[in-house]
Amino acid sequence: MERTIPYPSSLTKLAMREELSRGRRFSEPHHPYRTEYARDRDRIIHARAFRRLEAKTQVFTSRYSDHFRNRLTHTLEVTQIARTVSTALGLNSELAEALALVHDIGHPPFGHAGERKLNELMQSHGASFDHNLHALRIVEQFEHRYLEFTGLNLTFEVREGIIKHSRDYSPVACPDLAEYLLDLRPPLESQLIDWVDEIAYNTADLDDAREAELLDFDLLRAEVPLFAQAYSAVDRAHPAAREKLKFSEALKDVLNVLASDLIETTATRAKASGVNSVDEIRHHPHRLAGMSNGVAAENARLKQFLTANLYSNPVITEDRDRSIECLERLFHFYLSKHDSMPPDHEQSALAVPRHIVVCDYIAGMTDQFLLKQYRDHFGSAAMSTPTSA
């Protein structure tokens, strides 16, 4: 059977094509059969920081169990949704794929709690920590793989997407990011990433919460109509089926509703806006990718449910808080004790303020590496196993 994409308002003319690219920081000859964005994708996958995502927390730390999402499997889920959505819209799926693969590469250990703690520690030195800005430094400075340049020498659009995929940065507050056109919108491929990220983690976290037996199923159905409707439909069609499978089918339907709405709404808004080129998207007063108001509200209810019932659950927070204490203590240890970091970091600290080098060193660690450093320097006092699992 021939498969056709059911969205006639394809946005092909709004795709970010490589011939429109602002190029790489250091020019390189074209590859004979890979596009520039495909090369970016491949460079990201071969980066050390990308491999380290495997041992970084998404929601559940690896001390809890080893079959929940980690930041690498989350990244792969975001990537496949980004490919699906961008392909359905006629956009550049290779650029969307590269942007999705790199979107969390700057995350420190222990998820958002780790990011908040590093930011707090840096603020006491008049600085800050932000995972998007850290990601940019990883791909520009910290990866060493190529003879001709430091970093991955990614195209402008991928570096721009690292900065702009989830938020806007003020040109006044961030003058050092001026080259990234902070007063303009990014291409649609980049605008989609934050939405597909949210679709991926809202559905996956629900799945992991059920697997961890932390889900109040009745409460979920009462508070999240989007899920309740999907489950009821599956239940009506398969009343005798195992609940676990009905749950999975319902979750799959929720993901489909969210992704389909993102596709349809983005197509409708782009068409209604009258934009005809990537340049016009850049100059449009607001971002065009997004969900409809109704589905965005449903999605927000799902997110609120997870915030109230999973992310704040003691099984998650107690383990996480112990780990964050280890991070904080290590930060102060490296900061105050010279020759406590590896030689290349100590060398950097001769030229760069020590708190910045310490922050970069810790941000690059996997969860397990950080906890091992903690044990090596302080013993295992704070490392007791979770009590409430």
Q: Closest CB to Mg ion among 100 and 278?
A: 100
Q: Closest CB to Mg ion among 104 and 298?
A: 104
Q: Closest CB to Mg ion among 76 and 228?
A: 76
18 binding Mg ion? (CB under 5 A): no
Answer for the pair 208, 59: CB distance below 8 angstroms, yes or no.
Answer: yes
What is the footprint of Mg ion within residues 170-199 (CB under 5 A)? 197
**What is the number of helices (H) and of strands (E) in the chain?**
17, 0
Find the shortest distance in angstroms from Cβ 216 to Mg ion. 25
What is the footprint of Mg ion within residues 88-107 (CB under 5 A)? 104
Of 197, 63, 69, 41, whose CA–CA distance to 131 is shortest? 197
Q: Closest CB to Mg ion among 43 and 103?
A: 103
Answer for the pair 355, 361: CB distance below 8 angstroms, yes or no.
Answer: no
Find the shortest distance in angstroms from Cβ 104 to Mg ion. 4
Find the shortest distance in angstroms from Cβ 167 to Mg ion. 13
Find the shortest distance in angstroms from Cβ 78 to Mg ion. 6
Find the shortest distance in angstroms from Cβ 56 to Mg ion. 11
Q: Closest CB to Mg ion among 53 and 234?
A: 53
What is the footprint of Mg ion within residues 225-264 (CB under 5 A)? none
205 binding Mg ion? (CB under 5 A): no
Q: Closest CB to Mg ion among 99 and 154?
A: 99
Q: Closest CB to Mg ion among 104 and 160?
A: 104
Amino acid 283 reads H
CA distance 159 to 137: 10
Total of chain residues touching Mg ion, rule CB under 5 A: 2
Answer for the pair 157, 22: CB distance below 8 angstroms, yes or no.
Answer: yes
Amino acid 252 reads K
298 binding Mg ion? (CB under 5 A): no
CA angle 113, 258, 289 (to 5 degrees): 85
Characterize 263-272 residue by residue with b for buried, 16 or more Cβ atoms within 10 angstroms of its Cβ, and e for exposed.
Answer: bbbbbebbee
Find the shortest distance in angstroms from Cβ 87 to Mg ion. 20
Q: 228: how many CB neighbours lie within 10 A of its CB? A: 15
CA distance 350 to 174: 25
Specify the 3-state DSSP secondary structure of 217. Answer: helix
DSSP 249: H
Find the shortest distance in angstroms from Cβ 74 to Mg ion. 6
Answer for the pair 152, 43: CB distance below 8 angstroms, yes or no.
Answer: yes
Chain residues in the site for Mg ion (CB under 5 A) = 104, 197
